[in-house]
Amino acid sequence: MPNETLLTAQPRLAFLAAPTPEAQAAREALVALHGDVPPAEADVLIALGGDGFMLQTLHRHATLCKPVYGMKLGTVGFLMNHQRMESLVERLHAAEPAVLRPLEMIVQSESGATVGSLAYNEVSLLRQTRQAAHVRIDLNGQTRLDELICDGVLVCTPAGSTAYNFSAHGPILPLGANVMALTPIAAFRPRRWRGAVLKADTEVRFTVLDPLKRPVSATADSHEVRDAVEVTIRESRDRTVTLLFDPEHNLEERMLAEQFTSG
């Protein structure tokens, strides 16, 4: 359905660009056409770059509760619309919203520190040395896997299921399905375990076994915490972000098409 969040014929726009020359040049051209306001005063945030810059924008400005419309001016743009300088306001009025709910990560580190972060794509655990990681997996307080021996393991949102999760042979999840994926990365034992699809309200807890000999890092999108001992992950209950997509380029259709590509 068309986006209902734009209240005026000429919405106030905040243009945010990646540091690349291409993105900066596009920002200058768009600001000359449409003006520019600070993000806190904008009706819509316009993110110019790739998926990495979109994730930075979401982390930096999510508390403003502003819809974000991305245009691809980077190397990866699954979360972005095609770059076109013309008819931006008309595109915004016709755009379709995709509401995303991030994951909350809480890490207990070997030093005793507790670190929290949000992930719009995934939370991943990775071995820090040549030693394979040994990890116990609990779901809602119940141990489901006593020991996973692996290079790592991740939990992803539906929006993030086409990213690192897909590269690790995890499933693509439909938006709005209220599920998340738990996917091992190069599992050695159990060798045939391929992960699980979990209800979105599941609390996942990873306990790192022998963390001194086999240290593990935990990363929420790009925020890494080294020497993790215990990592708890749950879907956020009070945080959402809204991305806007051109009707022919909406996220749900792109995720469906990704499942039928052979490239």
SS3 for 62-119 is HHHCCCEEEEECCCCCCCCECCCCCCHHHHHHHCEEEEECCEEEEEEECCCCEEEEEE
Confidence of residue 261 (pLDDT cuts 50, 70, 90): low
List the catalytic residue out of 36, 43, 51, 146: 51
Confidence of residue 88 (pLDDT cuts 50, 70, 90): very high
Whether 250 has a binding-site annotation, put simply, is no
Q: Domains along the chain?
A: 13-101+240-258 (3.40.50.10330), 103-235 (2.60.200.30)
Query: CA-CA distance, 211 to 230, in Å (whole number)?
Result: 10
DSSP character at residue 197 = E
Whether 95 has a binding-site annotation, put simply, is no
Whether 15 has a binding-site annotation, put simply, is no
pLDDT of residue 263: 56
pLDDT at 177 over 90: no
Mean pLDDT of 43-48: 97
Whether the CB-CB separation of 43 and 65 falls below 8 Å is answered with: no
pLDDT at 2 over 60: no
Residue 51 bears catalytic tag: yes
pLDDT tens digits along 55-64: 999 999 999 9
pLDDT tens digits along 102-111: 999 999 999 9
pLDDT at 69 over 70: yes
Burial of 172 by CB count in 10 Å (0-12 exposed, 13-18 middle, 19+ buried)? middle
SS3 at position 183: strand
Give every CB contact of residue 14 below 8 A, 6+ residues apart in sequence: 36, 37, 38, 39, 41, 42, 44, 45, 46, 66
pLDDT at 238 over 80: yes
Query: CA-CA distance, 146 to 124, in Å (whole number)?
Result: 19
Give every CB contact of residue 244 below 8 A, 6+ residues apart in sequence: 3, 44, 67, 68, 69, 81, 92, 95, 96, 97, 98
**pTM, entire model:** 0.86
Q: Name which of 178-182, 218-222, 235-239 the model is least confident about.
A: 235-239
Mean pLDDT, the chain, integer:
91
Tokens, residue 208 = 């790192």
Per-residue DSSP letters for 198-254?
EETT--EEEEESSTTTS-EEEEETTEEESSEEEEEEEE-SS--EEEEE-GGG-HHHH
pLDDT at 119 over 80: yes
Confidence of residue 144 (pLDDT cuts 50, 70, 90): very high
Whether 122 has a binding-site annotation, put simply, is yes
Mean pLDDT of 69-73: 94
Mean pLDDT of 234-261: 82
pLDDT at 29 over 90: yes
Whether 113 has a binding-site annotation, put simply, is no
pLDDT of residue 85: 86
Mean pLDDT of 143-164: 95
Query: CA-CA distance, 19 to 39, in Å (whole number)?
Result: 17
pLDDT of residue 47: 97
Q: Is 195 left (phi over 0), alpha (psi -120 to 50) or beta?
A: left
Whether 121 has a binding-site annotation, put simply, is yes
Query: CA-CA distance, 210 to 115, in Å (whole number)?
Result: 20
Q: What are phi and psi of 111, to 5 degrees?
A: -75, -10
